[in-house]
Copies of this chain bind each other. A is one copy, B any other.
Amino acid sequence: MKQKRPKYMQIIDAAVVVIAENGYHQSQVSKIAKQAGVADGTIYLYFKNKEDILISLFKEKMGQFIERMETDIQKKPSAKEKLLLLIEEHFRMLAQNHHLALVTQLELRQSNLELRQKINEVLKGYLNMLESILADGKKTGEFRQNLDVRLARQMVFGTIDETATTWVMNDQKYDLPALAENVRDLLLNGIHQS
């Protein structure tokens, strides 16, 4: 397994640091190699090409997160609680790793379309989990019966993503996880006076 080889994660972690510190377009393979403490050529023993580093980076970091999430979420009895947990953990993950937050919310989005489509593949697991929560809530009667699950998923994800991006663009200077409950309530109840 890739993950077993120590240099694999070493290079991925180096890539996160280098991209966060230098920006996407100033993150040459040689810089990543230097940060990882390996030769340029060594990179290509572990990754097919530069793009593969970036996809793997996203896969590893987001993959770990999604796995943890799926376990944690099952423990929650209601869809509402599951939704809150999802938002909280998402925000917490970003807040706990400032470098990673910068890389996923800003830098990696500068990549070309092809790469971004591959990144979206990885995101699918996350989006599926989100749709499951919404569909479950609909089934249990917690959420509206006429809920358009796909549209609702776009609202939830769009809101989380926009909130996180705004936070990163403001130099992460306020407490993002603290917003989780407000965000969840807004998504649940909308902006309308009830």
Q: What is the interface of chain A, defined by CB distance below 8 A to chain B?
A: 23-25, 80, 106-107, 109-113, 116-117, 120, 134, 137, 141-145, 147-148, 151-152, 154-163, 166, 169, 179, 182-183, 186-194
Contacts and interface: CB of A to CB of B under 8 A. Distances in A.
A112 B187 contact: no
Nearest to A114: B23
Contacts of A154: 159, 162-163, 166
Contact of A186 (B110, B120, B142, B190): B190
Query: Chain A at the B interface: mostly helix, strand, loop or mixed?
Result: helix
A169 B120 contact: yes
A145 B152 CA distance: 24
A191 B157 CA distance: 13
A162 B122 CA distance: 17
B143 A193 contact: yes
Given A112-B23, A112-B110, A163 B151 contact: yes
Nearest to A183: B151
A185 to B, nearest CB: 8
A186 B143 contact: no
Given A152-B191, A190-B190, 20 more contacts: A24-B112, A24-B113, A109-B109, A109-B110, A110-B112, A117-B169, A141-B193, A143-B191, A144-B189, A147-B191, A151-B163, A151-B182, A151-B186, A154-B166, A155-B155, A155-B163, A155-B187, A158-B163, A186-B190, A189-B192
